[in-house]
Amino acid sequence: MNSELTAYITLIATSSVLNLFLFFYVFFNRHKYMKIAKLFLFYTAATTIYCLGAAFGMMGTTVGQLKFWTTIQYVGMPFSPPLSLLFTMQFLGMKVTKKRVISFLIIPLISLVMVATNDWHHLHYRVFEVDPTLGAPYIHLEIGRWYVVHGIFTFSCLFAGFVLILAHWKETAKTYRPQLIALMCGQLVPMITAFVYLIGLTPPGVDPVPMVRWLATLFYLWAISSSRLFTIMPIAKDEIFNSINDGVMVLDDSNRLIEFNTACKKMFPQLNKSMFGNDLEQVWHGLSGTSIPFKLDGTELHQEIEVITDENSKRIYQVRTSMLQNSKNHEGLLIIFTDITEVKRLQLQLEHQAYYDELTQIYNRRAFFQKSEQDFETAMKEQVDFTVILMDIDYFKKVNDTFGHHVGDQLLIHVAKACQIQLQEGDIFARYGGEEFVFALKGRTSIEGEVFANNIRGYIEAHPLESNEGEIPVTVSMGVAEAMKETGTTLYQLLNQADKALYSAKEKGRNRVQLYLEHSLVRN
């Protein structure tokens, strides 16, 4: 193998490796990018196949091997230009539909079939043979009619992509022009090389395009790493800016309003362009009649605010701020409003369902343990008294069996409301299960808990349930237990003690409060 051929293979192999690296780099980071990365992956894959086929083709020794690797090249090569054009169109904010994609790939697909079956019709290559002077792997070609169609289409795709990018050059901010440069080079490098090849200015028998593909790949890698090629599309930024659901306000370095999007206008209907140039404090007062409920002190913000709308309804927004700056100076501030009113409503609804008993609307068992465990741990650390009371409605099953479950439900609600009347701030009251209720009293001794329990018992006894079935007398039995700090009692042990006291109260005739003391149960 001569040095010239080795150089060709080395250049093509370099293009193959770089394109393969670019493909995997974008693929493994695709979750960070916009949807345009998908088309770029197809484009890069097609280019990689093309370069790999060319590299292996340069090592062919027979015409059969050369034809095989040429066919492999056409698995990627004819698809690369239209995929590049489609990627460019999407990058520029143009609509890329499935029909458009299919229409762009019809001719490349035909070209692939034509090359694979060329020996039958010779429409793509009229002559395909080993160069009689240079020998393998150099090829002597005479193009056929379809090759002309294929060549025109390929050149048109590359040229159209270049023209589209050039047409958007002026309207693109300088910050984002490196992205356009990378895209233009991606079109220009293969287009110019192919043109030079077609007019016979390159070494005979060799396709030079895959040899220079590495150069375009380097431009893409540079654009991805330095100018966030897939993260920010400068041409489509206005469309994206106005299509996002979050409201966005843009302030300059003096906190004056300079831009807002459509979603922000919907959130704040009074917002209009006449407010541009006004300080945000002035703008916000005009929108809500209040001062700004968040700080603009240069630090990133993340908080929730409530805003009263024109319809006098309350909306809840999550507000985030982000600095806009260049490498040296602070240039402004981005304020992002996310409407979380419905999320908050659903969150409160779910929390209520998770922690409140559906029938009585008091805490359920889960909420009791979550809240009382915190109070219990604090009480034990601070050496504060802590008492629990278990309460059971006497003969509840008899009420259900006699009057029906609907009256039983009324009775549970009636008892829960009677208990709530007696509660003090900090007391925890919950439905423990069935007809059983529980109290957690932080800061009260068992004697104080006993008095509290007797007050509830007496109140419930004095206030029977008024129902459609008539007046139904109600009594309750209660067990009281206090945490013994010196013995290291746990909340579950304390509840077990209260349960034993409750069981004793039932055994002794019900409608009574039973106090638990270690080694004995003392009757009230």
Return the SS3 of 163: helix
DSSP at 444: -
Indicate whether 350 belongs to any domain.
Answer: no
Which residues have C-beta within 8 Å of that of residue 72, sequence separation ≥ 6? 49, 52, 53, 56, 57
- pLDDT mean across residues, the chain: 86
DSSP at 522: E
Rounded mean pLDDT, 432-454: 95
Indicate whether 163 belongs to any domain.
Answer: yes
Same domain, 62 and 211: yes
Give the angle 132-135-139 at the CA atoms, nearest 5°. 75
Same domain, 322 and 362: no
What is the band of 198 on the pLDDT scale with cuts at 50, 70, 90?
confident
Most confident of 106-120, 373-387, 485-499: 106-120
From 344, 370, 403, the end of a domain falls on 344
Domain count, the chain: 3
Indicate whether 159 belongs to any domain.
Answer: yes
Same domain, 264 and 288: yes
> How far apart (Å, rounded) are the C-alpha atoms in residues 516 and 502?
9
From 316, 344, 372, the end of a domain falls on 344
The model's pTM: 0.48
Rounded mean pLDDT, 222-251: 69
What confidence score (pLDDT) does residue 238 get? 58
Indicate whether 145 belongs to any domain.
Answer: yes
Same domain, 148 and 45: yes
Amino acid at site 271: L
User: Can you name the residues that pair with 322 across neighbouring β-strands?
Assistant: 334
Q: What is the CATH number of the domain that holds 332?
A: 3.30.450.20
Same domain, 424 and 366: yes
Q: Pick the residue with more confidence: 301 or 22?
A: 22
Same domain, 45 and 120: yes
What confidence score (pLDDT) does residue 174 get? 66
Same domain, 327 and 416: no
Rounded mean pLDDT, 22-28: 88
What confidence score (pLDDT) does residue 328 get? 44
Q: Pick the residue with more confidence: 94 or 395?
A: 395
Amino acid at site 465: L
Q: What is the CATH number of the domain that holds 192?
A: 1.20.1070.10
What confidence score (pLDDT) does residue 228 get? 63
Indicate whether 223 belongs to any domain.
Answer: yes
Rounded mean pLDDT, 297-311: 77
Same domain, 183 and 283: no
Indicate whether 298 belongs to any domain.
Answer: yes
Percent of the chain with pLDDT over 90: 44
Most confident of 93-107, 132-146, 415-429: 415-429
What is the band of 487 on the pLDDT scale with cuts at 50, 70, 90?
low
Same domain, 278 and 362: no
Q: Which long-range contacts (CB under 8 A, 24 or more apart) does 485-494 make?
A: 485/380, 485/383, 487/518, 491/369, 491/372, 491/373, 491/376, 491/388, 494/376, 494/386, 494/388
Same domain, 419 and 509: yes
Among 41-50, 238-247, 390-399, 479-488, whose mean pLDDT is lowest?
238-247
User: Can you name the residues that pair with 467 across neighbouring β-strands?
Assistant: 470
> How far apart (Å, rounded) are the C-alpha atoms in residues 114 and 98?
24
What confidence score (pLDDT) does residue 392 get? 96
Tokens encoding 420: 């709530």
Most confident of 162-176, 234-248, 282-296, 371-385: 371-385
Indicate whether 349 belongs to any domain.
Answer: no
Indicate whether 20 belongs to any domain.
Answer: yes
Q: What residue numbers bound the domain in which 398 lies?
A: 356-523
Distances (CA, A) of 390 to 110, 245, 491, 508, 520: 82, 51, 13, 16, 18
What confidence score (pLDDT) does residue 104 get? 95
Strands (E), 96-200: 125-130, 139-143
Q: What is the CATH number of the domain that holds 365?
A: 3.30.70.270
Same domain, 137 and 114: yes
From 234, 256, 285, the end of a domain falls on 234
What is the band of 523 on the pLDDT scale with cuts at 50, 70, 90?
very low
Tokens encoding 277: 């140039």
Same domain, 30 and 84: yes
CA-nearest of 400, 514, 406, 388 to 457 is 514
